[in-house]
């Protein structure tokens, strides 16, 4: 794959939900490489269009270009793109060794992994950390086997973090959870990952999944990364109301919609004790209604922002008042990977829980 093809496909495949004209694409590519010329881009786009790898659609005076996911040869091209991006990471010897271990160990040990991606590798490496997305096959008849693999992934990633002296954060999702998060209108961490990931293993599986979602008419959008601790007061109040916790006084204006896992993390990070005590109420209400959270995502967020001990303490408190199997599963997982619950004010939580009647 030549450099121009690489740059075009890389930009288009990492910009879910955004449309580019040839002119705007050239402008974007020039931000990264000042030697990218309009004619070079134009000629390459014509070539890719004639090969049916991209589609060109007229919109007014502009020609909008997008990847043709219906063409299976294009999926092979995107898989090659991921391999090239992965090879570019080899310049960092420490990261290269970590990725070698992940590629070799996980392929041998686990059979339900659909793909593994690394997220924002250059940015995170500066902070001596690495972030990963695991997507697992989740057939209904193999739930116990998948649960065993999830435990194994946590244990192996913990060992690799110690071996490489690096903080490793990893989001593990079943393929149905992956589809659900992509289709949500809420801002969520998965959407933040889409535009900044490099698929490390089973690249064909990843792009085939994206193709299938698009074929079903699903609109996939990416999002900028947001620190939950910086979610605005207006958005926090609005989302607390969405998830069943309405504070007294003042009207609730409409705000940006965030997933419940991000809002719970925001409560931990922003440090308002009164609101933190509302976490069991929010979890209880939404679990009773058969809603989220996705506990894998909630645990990922808590571990990423060093709040896992707090989360475990609130889950253990909630377990005494709920028989929801998802709570038991999350506690079991967190306990098995060595997380210790922190001390919480159970009396204050009890009072607030009683005030809201747990509904």
Residue corresponding to tokens 């001390």: 343
Q: Which tokens in the block code for residue 331?
A: 């506690």
Helix axes 3-13, 22-32, angle to 10 degrees: 110
User: Regarding beta strands 129-136 and 167-174, do their DSSP bridges make them parallel or antiparallel, or are they unpaired?
Assistant: parallel
pTM: 0.92
Residue 274, pLDDT score: 83
Condensed to tens digits (0 to 9), the pLDDT of residues 310-324 reads 999 999 999 988 888
**299 has a pLDDT exceeding 50:** yes
Contacts of 212 (CB under 8 A, 6+ apart): none
Q: Would you say 136 and 173 are in contact if contact means Cβ atoms under 8 Å apart?
A: yes
Q: How far apart are CA 121 and CA 191, in angstroms?
A: 16
Q: How far apart are CA 283 and CA 294, in angstroms?
A: 11
Q: How far apart are CA 307 and CA 292, in angstroms?
A: 19
Mean pLDDT of the chain: 90
Q: Would you say 256 and 235 are in contact if contact means Cβ atoms under 8 Å apart?
A: yes
Q: Would you say 261 and 186 are in contact if contact means Cβ atoms under 8 Å apart?
A: no
- Please list the residues that pair with 279 across neighbouring strands: none
Domain boundaries, the chain: 3-67, 72-215, 228-356
The full DSSP string for 67-124 is E-TT-HHHHHHHHHHHHHHHHHGGGSHHHHHHHHHHHHHHHHH-S-EEEEEEESHHHH
Q: Would you say 293 and 264 are in contact if contact means Cβ atoms under 8 Å apart?
A: yes
Q: How far apart are CA 229 and CA 237, in angstroms?
A: 14
Residue 273, pLDDT score: 84
The gap from C-alpha 343 to its chain's centroid, in whole angstroms, comes to 29
Q: Would you say 135 and 171 are in contact if contact means Cβ atoms under 8 Å apart?
A: no
Q: Which tokens in the block code for residue 270?
A: 């922003």
Condensed to tens digits (0 to 9), the pLDDT of residues 63-122 reads 899 999 999 999 999 999 999 999 999 889 999 999 999 999 998 899 999 999 999 999
Contacts of 65 (CB under 8 A, 6+ apart): 12, 20, 21, 22, 25, 45, 49, 54, 55, 56, 57
State what percent of residues in the chain have pLDDT above 70. Answer: 96
- Could you tell me which of 227, 265, 258 has the C-alpha nearest to residue 241? 258
Condensed to tens digits (0 to 9), the pLDDT of residues 177-223 reads 999 999 888 999 999 999 999 999 999 999 999 999 999 988 898 99
Using left for φ > 0, alpha for ψ between -120 and 50, and beta otherwise, residue 102 falls in alpha
- Could you tell me which of 149, 154, 110 has the C-alpha nearest to residue 132? 154
CB burial string 222-247: b at 16+ within 10 A, e below? bbeebebeebeeebbbbbbebbbbee
Residue 359, pLDDT score: 43
Residue 250, pLDDT score: 57
Contacts of 226 (CB under 8 A, 6+ apart): 187, 192, 262
CA angle 352, 355, 359 (to 5 degrees): 100
Q: In CATH, what is the architecture of 3-67?
A: Orthogonal Bundle (1.10)
């Amino acid at each position: 794959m030549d450099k121009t093809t690489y740059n075009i496909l890389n930009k288009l495949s990492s910009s879910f939900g955004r449309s580019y004209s040839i002119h705007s694409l050239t402008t974007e590519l020039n931000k990264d490489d000042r030697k990218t010329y309009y004619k070079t881009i134009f000629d390459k786009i014509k070539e890719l269009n004639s090969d049916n790898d991209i589609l060109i659609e007229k919109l007014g005076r502009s020609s909008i270009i997008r990847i043709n996911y219906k063409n299976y040869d294009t999926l092979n091209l995107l898989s090659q793109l991921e391999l090239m991006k992965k090879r570019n990471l080899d310049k960092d010897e420490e990261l290269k060794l970590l990725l070698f271990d992940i590629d070799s160990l996980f392929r041998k040990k686990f059979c339900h992994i659909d793909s593994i991606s690394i997220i924002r590798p250059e940015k995170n490496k500066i902070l001596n950390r690495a972030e990963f997305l695991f997507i697992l096959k989740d057939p209904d008849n193999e739930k116990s086997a998948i649960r065993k693999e999830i435990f194994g992934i946590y244990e192996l990633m913990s060992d690799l973090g110690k071996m490489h002296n690096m903080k490793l954060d990893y989001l593990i999702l079943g393929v149905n959870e992956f589809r659900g998060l992509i289709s949500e209108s809420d801002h969520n961490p998965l959407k933040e990952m889409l535009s900044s990931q490099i698929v490390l293993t089973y690249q064909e599986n990843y792009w085939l999944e994206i193709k299938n979602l698009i074929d079903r008419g699903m609109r996939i959008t990416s999002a900028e990364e947001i620190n939950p601790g910086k979610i605005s007061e207006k958005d926090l109040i609005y989302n607390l109301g969405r998830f069943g916790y309405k504070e007294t006084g003042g009207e609730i204006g409409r705000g940006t919609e965030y997933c419940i896992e991000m809002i719970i993390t925001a409560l931990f990070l922003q440090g308002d004790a009164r609101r933190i005590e509302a976490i069991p109420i929010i979890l209880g209400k939404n679990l009773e209604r058969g809603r989220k959270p996705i506990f894998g995502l909630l645990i990922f967020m808590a571990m990423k922002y060093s709040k896992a001990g707090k989360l475990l303490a609130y889950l253990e408190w909630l377990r005494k008042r709920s028989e929801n199997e998802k709570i038991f599963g999350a506690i079991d997982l967190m306990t098995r990977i060595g997380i210790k619950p922190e001390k919480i004010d159970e009396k204050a939580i009890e009072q607030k829980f009683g005030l809201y009647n747990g509904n």
